[in-house]
Structure 1
Amino acid sequence: MALKKSSNINHPRKSSNVHVTKSGKKIKLNTSLTDKVKARRDEKALRKAERLSKLPKGRFKRILYRLHPKQLKEYWFSREGRLMALKIVGIGIVSVFVLMIGVFAYFRKDLPNLRDISGSNIGGSIRYFDKTGETLLWEDYDAVKRIPVKSEDIAEYLKQATIALEDRDFFKHGGFDMKGISRAAWANVTGGSTSQGGSTITQQLVKLSQDWSADRSYTRKVKELILAIELERSYTKDEIITGYLNAAPYGNIQYGAEVAAQDYFHKSAKDLTLAESVFLASIPQSPSFYSPYGAYFNEENSRGETGNEALVGRMHYTLNIMHEMGYITEDEKEEAKAVDVLATVHKTESKYHNIKAPHFVLAAKEELEKKYSAETVNRSGWKVTTTLDLNLQTIAEEEVASGIKQVEKQGGNVAAFTAEDVETGQIVAMVGGPDFTNTEFGENNYARTPLPPGSSFKPYDYTALIESTENTGAGSVLYDTQGVLPGYPCTNKSIPKNGGNCLYDYDLRYPGPITIRYALGGSRNVPAVKAMLIAGVEKTIDTAESLMNASNPNSYGYNCYAPDTVEFVTANEAACYGSSSIGDGAYLKMDEHVHGLATLSRNGLNIPRTYILSIKDATDKTTYEWKLEGGTQVVREDTAYIINDILSDPNASYLATKPHTMPGNGGAWKVAVKTGTTNDSKDGWMTGYTSKYAAAVWVGYYNRTKEMSGYMETMTRPIFQNWMKRAHQDLAPKDWEKPAGIQTLSAYIVRNSISSGSRVPSPDKDLFPSWYSKTNSSNQKRTIDIISGKLATECTPALAKKEETGGTATQYSSDTFVDGTSSSTTNEQDDLHKCSDARPSVTVNRSLGLANSYTLSATVLPGTHALNGNEDKGAGKVEFIVNGEVVGSHTLTGQGLYSINYTPTTSGNLSFTARVIDSAMYDATSNSLTISVIALKYNGNGKFSWTGASGSVSVYPASGGTPICSNSSCSVANPSFTGGSVYARDNSNASPVISASD
C-alpha cells in the first residue's frame, strides 16, 4: 500500500520574524525588544569573530600587531577604532573630573576659610591711644608695620596703577588667568623654574594673607588656585583689591598702602597723587630692590640697572599701561612722568619716634602680650585705647623732670612714678624714668622693674597682723625695744656695719611700748618685723600679694633673693624671713605696689588692675572692652580702714613736713602716706593714696650700685606731693567709707617722743575692728605730764598737764615676744620739772614797714630748760599776739631775736604782746606795746581826713617816696594820685595806717 506523502515533509517551518522581498531577499524583523538586543549582540559577536580571525592568536600579539604602522591607520579610522577613541576620551574626561575633585578635596581639607582678607595674620601696626581714644600715643610695629584701612581711604590712582601693572584682566577673570598660567607653565617647562609669574591679584592676596610668599612649590600653587576661586565667589572686586593693598609689601617692614604713604610721603593713602601712587604700585614685585628703604636699592640687577633706575623705568611703564587702559589722559601721563617722586621720599625714622608716655605704652603692650601672646599682638593691627589720662601723665612727667635735679644732687639719677585710679583700677599715669632717650638706661622701665620697697612695705605687715589676730587694733601695743628675735640673735647691739646682729631702728632710738598707729606712722623697724613674725611670714606675704595682684595670675608678686642678686629670676630666689617686712632682700614692682595700696583704699576690695580700655580690629570691630568688675574682698573692710586712718594721720607720722592733706574743690583731701628707704640707701620711696588716686615715687641710681646721701624724702616728697596736689585740686574731697562695725575704744597712750615729726601724747581712744573683744580699758583718771609721759606734779607747768583715762601697755599688748609682766611708766611722777625751774623771758618791739605794715619783733631768753628741742622734748615757740589774737609764730632754735611782718586789718589803738613757750612747756608773756593805726579817707577835691592820729599826718603814694601832702588838714591843689593807692603816717613816724584809694 502506498503511503500518503505529508504536506510538511522537506518544508522548513516559516519563521514569524522573517520577511521575503520580491527579489527574494530575506529580512529578519525583531518582534520584541529582547529579540532586538539579542540580534545586536549576535551581530557584534560575528564582527568580532571576523576581526579576530584576521589577527594573531593571543592578546599581547594582537596589541603588537595593532601598533604596527600599517595597521594603525586602518584600525583607528575604522568604525571600531572610532568607537574605541570615543570610549577612551570619555573615560579620560571622567577620570580627570574625578581626579580634580579628589585633588580639590585633598588640598581643601587643610586650607582655612577665608573669612578675613585684611591680611591680619601677616601682622600689622598696633596703635595705642590715650583714654579718650583721640590722641595717638604710639604706632607699634616689630617685624611688620601695617595699618589696614577701608577702600574709601585708598586713592583710586593707587588701585588703578596696581591693576594696570599687576593684573590687567582683574575685572574679567574669576580668580585665575588661564593665559597667565599657561604662559608660566610653558616658561617653567622650558626654563626649569617654578618662579615664573602668572598670578592674579586675587592669587597674590591669597599668598599674602596665608603668608606663602616664601613657598614656591606646586602644591602651594594648587592651594592658592583653590582659595583664589573661593575668594572671587565670596568677595567683590573692590574688597579684593582693597585687601591686597592692605597687605602688599612696600619696603623693609612697610606693609599696606597706608603705612607706605605715611612713611614715604608723610600723608594718608587717600591723599596720594598720581605720581606717588605709581611709585608705590611699582614696589611690591621686589621691595628689597625697588624700595628706597630696600637693602639692594643701590645695587645693579642682571640688566645693569640700579634699583633707582629700574624703579623709574617701572613707573613710566605703569603710566603707559594706565593710559592704554583709559585710566589717565595723555597729559596726566606726561605730567606724572615729569615728577621727581624720589626727591620727596622721607627718610626712615626710629621705632620710638614721637612716642608719648613711652614707659606706660610699653607696659600696656606687656599686658596685651600676657593676655593674647606676643605673636598674636604683633600680628593684630589693633587700635588699643589705654587707660592713660594725658593731663595726669603730663603732670607726672613735669614733676619727675623737676625733681630729678635734687635726686642727682644726692647721688641718684633715676626717678619713677606710677598712679592708679582707685575707683576703677586703671593705671592713669606712669613715668618709668626721667629720660627715655638716654642710650644707657633710658628704656628701662623702673615702674615695672623689681625693686626693694624698704619701709613702704610696712602697711602690709600691719594689715596682716590686724587681719590674722583676734584682738589687735590701732591702739594696741608692740614694744619697740632691742632683743632676740628670729633671725636676729642680738648678742651685739652695735650697728650692723660694726658687727652688730640686732634689729635696729633708723634713728637708733627705742621708745619702748608704742601703739600700732605710732609704730606704722613712725616707720619703726622693730615693731614692723614683730608684726610680720606674729602674723607669720607666709601669711604676711600672701596678704601683700593678694592686695597687690590677686586678680592677675601673671603678676610678679613679692619675692626674696640672695644678697647682690642681679637677675631677678626664679632660679635666684631665696626664702623670705622677718627682714622682708622692712623690704630687706625682697623685691616687688611699683605698679603692683600701687595697686596694693589702691586695694587698701578700696577698703580691701581688689579689682583687676588694667592698662587697657578697649581693643578694635582693622574693621573697627570691638575685640575687647573693659568693664568694671565686682572684685574680691581680700582683707576685711575694718582692717583696711584702720590702716587708711593710720597712714593719713599727720600726728602719728614721723615726717616733719606733712603731705597728709591736699586742697580740693570745696575742702581738703585726706592722704595716706608711707615712705621707704632701704638699709643700704640705694632706694627711696614715697607712696600714698586718697579715696581717688594711689601713687608711688621711687628714686635711685640706674643699676643700684651707688648709695644716695641725705634724706630720701627730700627727693621723693616734692614729686609725690606736687602730683597729688595738682591731681586733686579740682575734685570734691571724699573720705574713705567707715565700716559699720568699727569700734572706737580706749587705747594705750604713747607719751614718749617717737620722732621729731610725731606728736605725743597719742589719743586715749583709737580704732579697733568689729571682732575685737579684749577688755583693756581703765576708768582711772590721771593728770599726765605730756613731756615726760609720767604723772604730773604741782611743779608741772599747766601747759604740760593733760587729764587722761587709760591703762598700762600690758593691757593693750599684742606683742607675743614680750611677757605679760611688762608695764608702762604711768605710775611714776614727773621728775623733769622742778618747782625751782626758771621760766623763759621775752620782750617786744615794733617798727614801721612800708605802707600799712609793721615789723613786730620779740627777743627771747631761756630759763632753766632749753628753748630748742632734743630727742626727749619738742622745740619751743614764740607767738606774736595783737589784741589777744595770735597773728604769727616761730619755732625756736635758740635765744635771740624773732620777727614777723604784720599788716593791721582795723584802725585805732592795738595792743601787741608776745608769749614764749620753751621745750619743757614753761611759758612767759612780754610787756605790751600800743600800735596806733590810722584810718584814712579821701573826701574828693584833693582832700583827706583820718582817725587814729593825734597830730598832723603825711599822705604817701603806695610806693612810698615824697608825700602827696603833709599837714593837719591834708589837701592837694592839683591831685595827681587819682586812681592810685595811698597811705598815711603821723608825722611823729609812730603809726602805720590802712591804705585808702580815691
Structure 2
Amino acid sequence: MRIPKWRQNGAKRRLPFRVSAELWMPKLRLLKRLLIYTGSAMAIMFLTMFGFLFYLRMQALPVSSISQSSQMLDLQGNVIDSFHAGENRQSVPLKDISPYLVEATLAIEDQRFYDHLGFDIKGMARAVIVNLEHLSTKQGASTLTQQLARNLYLTHERTWSRKLKEAMYTLQLEMHYSKDEILSLYLNQIYYGHGAYGAEAAAEQYYGKHASQLTLAESAMLAGIPKGPKYYSPYMDMKNAKDRQKTILSTMADQGIIQRRDADAAALELLKFQPLGSSKQDGIAPFFRDYVHNMAVEKLGIDERLLSEGGIRIYTTLDPNTQRAAEQAVNEGFPGGSEQQAALVSIDPRTGYIKAMVGGRDYKSNQFNRVFAQTRQPGSSFKPIVYMTALQGGIMTPVSKFKSEPTTFTYDEGRQTYAPNNYNDKYVNDFIDMRQAIASSDNIYAVNTIMKVGPDKVIEMARKLGIESPMKPLPSLALGTFPVSPFEMASAFGTFANGGKHVEPTAILRIEDSKGAILYQAQPVTTQVVDPAYAYVLTSLMESVFETGGTGSRVSAMINRPVAGKTGTTAADAWLVGYTPELTTAVWVGYDKGRKLTQAEAHRAAPIFASYIEKALSAVPPKIFQIPDGVVSVYIDPKSGKLAASTCPSKRLESFVSGSQPTEVCGEHKDAPAAADGTGDAQKEQSSTWWNQLRRWWRN
C-alpha cells in the first residue's frame, strides 16, 4: 500500500525528533551526574576547608623565640644600661608608639591591613601584573601578618614548604589575635638596622628618645628602614634614606592620612641623629651597673637568660646628677699621670638609697670595684664606732678625759702589750676630752676608750651598724687596723646621720617583667640601732673635724653647709667618711697593691669629699642636723670638763644626752654656772656657727 505523501512528509518531520531525543538523553544524564559530582566535590572541599580552618584555629602557634632587651633605669627613669643577647629589643604597648610611626608603616607596608584576612588579594594581583610587565620581581605583596609569621616562626629560605608554612601561620595569627595585637607584635619585632629590633629600640638608637615621642619626620624616616636597613639607614646612605622618607610622606598624603603641606614640611625637616652606638647615658656609673647586675643575678635569683632576653626592667636608686658629681670629683682629685686609685660611695641615710658609686678612676682599664674591697684599713675613720659604743653604753660622755701622751697598754690578762703612736708622734701631753680627741684624731684617747668599753662591745656595735668584715677583739681595733670596705663605712655612718636608725643600703627598687608584673620589690630592713640622742651627740662631736684645729679643717672652706665626719690615714690608705642630713659618703684613696702613700697623696680624700658634697647638693639648701628629744646643751669649761661659770674665760657649748651632763660648776671661778637653755642654745650655736656659710651659699 502506498503511503500518502503527507504521511511520508509527517514521518519525515517526526523522525529527527525521535532520533535527537535518543541522542541527547544520555548527555543530559551525564550532565546531571556531573552536577551531582561537582556539588559533592565542592561540598567536600568546603567541609575540608572548614575542617582545616577549624584545625588551625584549635592548634597553638609555635613558641616564638623573640628576645627582648632588658633595661636598667636610674632614679629619674633614664635608661643607664641595657642587656641583650645579640638583639637590642624593648617591647612596648601599641599605645606607647607614635601614631605617626604606625600610620607611616601601614602606608608603605600594608595599606589594606585592617581590611584583609592575612592576604591582600588586590595587592597580590597588582604585584603579578607589575612583575609580568618587567619580567622580574619588582614588587612584593606580603602583608604585615605574613611578614610577622615569617619573622616569628620561619627562616627566609625560598622553598615551597616554607611558603606553605607561612600561609598556615598567617591564618593562625589572624585567628588568634586582633588586628591591633598583630600590629603591636609587628612593630615590636621588626628589624630597623644596627642591632635595633622594634620601634622602641629604634627610636632610642636613632634619636635618643622613646617611640611615643617620635615626630612625623622621624617616623617616616624609621618606617622606611625595615625594607632594607643596608640601603635605607641614614647611617649607611642618607640620600636613599631621605628619598624613601619622602616617598612615605607622599604616600601618606595621597591616602589622606596627613595634609600635603605637613608632608612637605616634614620632608624639609633637619633630623638630629644619635651617634651610632651611643645612648643618652652612655658610660655613666659603670661600677654601679655591674653591682646591680650581680645583685639581680646572685642575690635576687634573676636568671641570666631572663636578664639578657626577657625584656625585664630594673629600677635603681642611682641619682644621675649625684653620680656625675661623684665622677667629676674623683677625676679632678688627682694630678695628671698619677696612678693612685680611689673609691666613692654615697648613700641617702634616710632611705638607704645608693645615690652614687665610683669604684675606680678608669673602668675601661680595670673593672675592679674598690667600693666593696675588704682589704683597706679604715684607720681613724673607725673611731666614731668606738666612741658611740662608749656613749650609748653610758661609760663615757663628751667631757670624759684621757691624757694624750705615749702610753703602753696591757691586755689579755697582762700577757700582751700594745703601744700605739699618734700621727707624727704629736701629743698634747695633757688631758683632752672626746671632742678634742675626735677633732685631732688622737690615737691614745681612742685606745683608752676601747680598753674601757671592751673590744667585744665595739665589734657588736659595728655589726649592728652594718659592718660584716672580720674583726678581732684587740686594742688596735680602735685605730681601724682590721680592713673594711668603703661600702660598709658609708652604711655605718649613715646610721649616725639618720638619728641612730640603720637602713639597709638599697640599689634596686624593683624589677618588672616585660608585661609590667613585679618580680621583686625592695623592702629595706630598718633598725633603730642607736638612741637618737646619742646619735646627735656623736654627730655634734664629729662636726669639730671640719672646724679650726680639726683634721678636715683645710677643706672646710669648700663646704658651705653643716657636715660631720672623720678622716682616717694609714701607711697605705686615706679616708674621709662623712655626712650631711641628706648624704652619707665614704671616700678612699690609695694603691691597689698597698703601696705607701706620700703626705700629698694621703691628703687627697678630703678634697674629693668636699668637692663632691658641694656639687651633689648644689641645688639643695643647707640644713642643720636636727636636735632630737633627750638632748641638753650646757656651757662647760673645756679644761675641767665641769659646768662653766659665768666668769670663765673660755666656755664651750656642749651637747649631752639628758642626765649625763655635768652638774658641778668649775670651782676655780667660784660663781654661778653660765646660762644655757638646753636644745635652744644648741640650735642657736649651730645657727651662728654656720651663718657665714649659709650667707655665702645664698650669694652663690
Measured against the shorter chain, the TM-score band is 0.5 to 0.7
Counterpart AA for 1:676 = G
Judged with a 3 Å threshold, the aligned counterparts in structure 2 of structure 1 residues 355 and 622 are, in CA distance, closer, same or farther, namely farther
Aligned to 2:469: 559
Structure 2: distance between partners of 1:151 and 1:610: 33
Aligned to 2:411: 485
Counterpart AA for 1:714 = H
User: 1:734 aligned to 2:592?
Assistant: no
Aligned to 2:683: none
Judged with a 3 Å threshold, the aligned counterparts in structure 2 of structure 1 residues 413 and 781 are, in CA distance, closer, same or farther, namely closer
Aligned to 1:599: 495
Deviation (angstroms), 1:241: 2.2
Q: Does the Cα contact within 8 Å between 1:782 and 1:804 map onto a contact in 2? A: no
Deviation (angstroms), 1:151: 5.7
Q: Deviation per CA, 1:340-389, whole angstroms, max 9, x where unpaired?
A: xxxx9987335797445555566666666666836555543759585526
Aligned to 1:673: 565
Judged with a 3 Å threshold, the aligned counterparts in structure 2 of structure 1 residues 541 and 111 are, in CA distance, closer, same or farther, namely farther
TM-score normalized by the length of structure 1: 0.46
Counterpart AA for 1:700 = G
User: 1:715 aligned to 2:604?
Assistant: yes
Deviation (angstroms), 1:504: 4.7
Structure 2: distance between partners of 1:535 and 1:99: 86
Q: Deviation per CA, 1:755-814, whole angstroms, max 9, x where unpaired?
A: xxxxx99979873576x7xxx98969765xxxxxxxxxxxxxxxxx99999xxxxxxxxx
Q: 1:543 aligns with which of 421, 439, 461?
A: 461
Instruction: Map 1:238-257 onto structure 2 (within 5 A).
Output: 240-257=182-199
Q: Does the Cα contact within 8 Å between 2:633 and 2:656 map onto a contact in 1? A: yes
User: 1:170 aligned to 2:80?
Assistant: no
Counterpart AA for 1:649 = S
Deviation (angstroms), 1:676: 1.3
Q: Does the Cα contact within 8 Å between 1:638 and 1:742 map onto a contact in 2? A: no
Identity %: 22
Q: Does the Cα contact within 8 Å between 1:175 and 1:203 map onto a contact in 2? A: yes
Aligned to 2:485: 588
Aligned to 1:471: 395
Aligned to 2:227: 282
Counterpart AA for 2:410 = V
Aligned to 2:277: 349
Q: Deviation per CA, 1:56-107, whole angstroms, max 9, x where unpaired?
A: xxxxxxxxxxxxxxxxxxxxxxx9xx99x999x99x9999989987887675
RMSD: 6.4
Instruction: Map 1:137-176 onto structure 2 (within 5 A).
Output: 138=80, 140-143=82-85, 144-146=87-89, 148=92, 153-154=97-98, 156=100, 170-174=113-117
Deviation (angstroms), 1:459: 1.8
Match of 2:333, SS state, is helix
Deviation (angstroms), 1:720: 2.6
Match of 1:719, SS state, is helix
Aligned to 1:232: 177
Aligned to 1:454: 378
Counterpart AA for 2:502 = N
Aligned to 2:542: 647
Match of 1:349, SS state, is coil
Instruction: Map 1:571-650 onto structure 2 (within 5 A).
Output: 576=472, 578=474, 579=476, 581-590=478-487, 592-610=488-506, 631-649=526-544
Aligned to 2:333: 403
Judged with a 3 Å threshold, the aligned counterparts in structure 2 of structure 1 residues 748 and 453 are, in CA distance, closer, same or farther, namely same
Judged with a 3 Å threshold, the aligned counterparts in structure 2 of structure 1 residues 622 and 516 are, in CA distance, closer, same or farther, namely farther
Gaps of 5+ in 1: 1-78, 113-118, 181-196, 298-307, 494-501, 549-556, 561-574, 752-759, 784-800, 806-998
Structure 1: distance between partners of 2:449 and 2:68: 52
Q: 1:388 aligns with which of 311, 319, 325?
A: 319
Aligned to 2:576: 686
Deviation (angstroms), 1:677: 1.8
Aligned to 2:131: none
Structure 2: distance between partners of 1:655 and 1:399: 22
Judged with a 3 Å threshold, the aligned counterparts in structure 2 of structure 1 residues 728 and 625 are, in CA distance, closer, same or farther, namely farther
Judged with a 3 Å threshold, the aligned counterparts in structure 2 of structure 1 residues 324 and 471 are, in CA distance, closer, same or farther, namely closer
Q: 1:699 aligns with which of 589, 594, 615?
A: 589
Q: Does the Cα contact within 8 Å between 1:125 and 1:382 map onto a contact in 2? A: yes
Structure 1: distance between partners of 2:559 and 2:567: 23
Q: Does the Cα contact within 8 Å between 1:206 and 1:228 map onto a contact in 2? A: yes
Judged with a 3 Å threshold, the aligned counterparts in structure 2 of structure 1 residues 459 and 804 are, in CA distance, closer, same or farther, namely farther
Deviation (angstroms), 1:465: 4.2
Match of 1:122, SS state, is coil
Deviation (angstroms), 1:393: 5.1
Aligned to 1:413: 340
Aligned to 1:837: none
Q: Deviation per CA, 1:637-682, whole angstroms, max 9, x where unpaired?
A: 23322321221235999635626977999xx63x32201123xx32
Deviation (angstroms), 1:600: 0.7
Q: Deviation per CA, 1:878-931, whole angstroms, max 9, x where unpaired?
A: xxxxxxxxxxxxxxxxxxxxxxxxxxxxxxxxxxxxxxxxxxxxxxxxxxxxxx
Deviation (angstroms), 1:710: 0.6
Q: Does the Cα contact within 8 Å between 2:352 and 2:505 map onto a contact in 1? A: yes
Q: Deviation per CA, 1:10-64, whole angstroms, max 9, x where unpaired?
A: xxxxxxxxxxxxxxxxxxxxxxxxxxxxxxxxxxxxxxxxxxxxxxxxxxxxxxx
TM-score normalized by the length of structure 2: 0.62
Aligned to 1:953: none
Judged with a 3 Å threshold, the aligned counterparts in structure 2 of structure 1 residues 473 and 95 are, in CA distance, closer, same or farther, namely farther
Structure 1: distance between partners of 2:351 and 2:636: 36
Higher relative contact order, chain-length normalized (CA < 8 Å, sep 6+): 2
Match of 1:244, SS state, is helix
Structure 2: distance between partners of 1:594 and 1:429: 12
Deviation (angstroms), 1:540: 3.9
Judged with a 3 Å threshold, the aligned counterparts in structure 2 of structure 1 residues 476 and 720 are, in CA distance, closer, same or farther, namely same
Judged with a 3 Å threshold, the aligned counterparts in structure 2 of structure 1 residues 275 and 687 are, in CA distance, closer, same or farther, namely closer
Q: Deviation per CA, 1:804-863, whole angstroms, max 9, x where unpaired?
A: 99xxxxxxxxxxxxxxxxxxxxxxxxxxxxxxxxxxxxxxxxxxxxxxxxxxxxxxxxxx
Q: Does the Cα contact within 8 Å between 1:604 and 1:635 map onto a contact in 2? A: yes
Match of 1:699, SS state, is strand
Counterpart AA for 2:225 = L
Q: Deviation per CA, 1:120-173, whole angstroms, max 9, x where unpaired?
A: x73236374564x6xx574635434345475685475775556755x6763344
Judged with a 3 Å threshold, the aligned counterparts in structure 2 of structure 1 residues 433 and 664 are, in CA distance, closer, same or farther, namely closer
Counterpart AA for 2:543 = S
Structure 1: distance between partners of 2:627 and 2:579: 14
Match of 1:606, SS state, is strand
Judged with a 3 Å threshold, the aligned counterparts in structure 2 of structure 1 residues 613 and 645 are, in CA distance, closer, same or farther, namely same
Q: Deviation per CA, 1:601-660, whole angstroms, max 9, x where unpaired?
A: 1221123544567889999x8979999989431222233223212212359996356269
Structure 2: distance between partners of 1:653 and 1:214: 75
Q: Deviation per CA, 1:572-624, whole angstroms, max 9, x where unpaired?
A: xxx6453555443423233x5323212211221123544567889999x8979
Structure 2: distance between partners of 1:595 and 1:602: 11
Deviation (angstroms), 1:323: 7.5
Structure 1: distance between partners of 2:189 and 2:456: 53
Instruction: Map 1:83-232 onto structure 2 (within 5 A).
Output: 107=60, 122-124=67-69, 126=71, 128=73, 131=76, 136=78, 138=80, 140-143=82-85, 144-146=87-89, 148=92, 153-154=97-98, 156=100, 170-174=113-117, 201-202=144-145, 205=148, 228-229=173-174, 231-232=176-177
Match of 2:495, SS state, is helix
Structure 1: distance between partners of 2:114 and 2:332: 63
Counterpart AA for 1:457 = F
Structure 2: distance between partners of 1:696 and 1:608: 16
Q: Which of structures 1 and 2 has the bigger CA Rg? A: 1
Deviation (angstroms), 1:513: 7.2
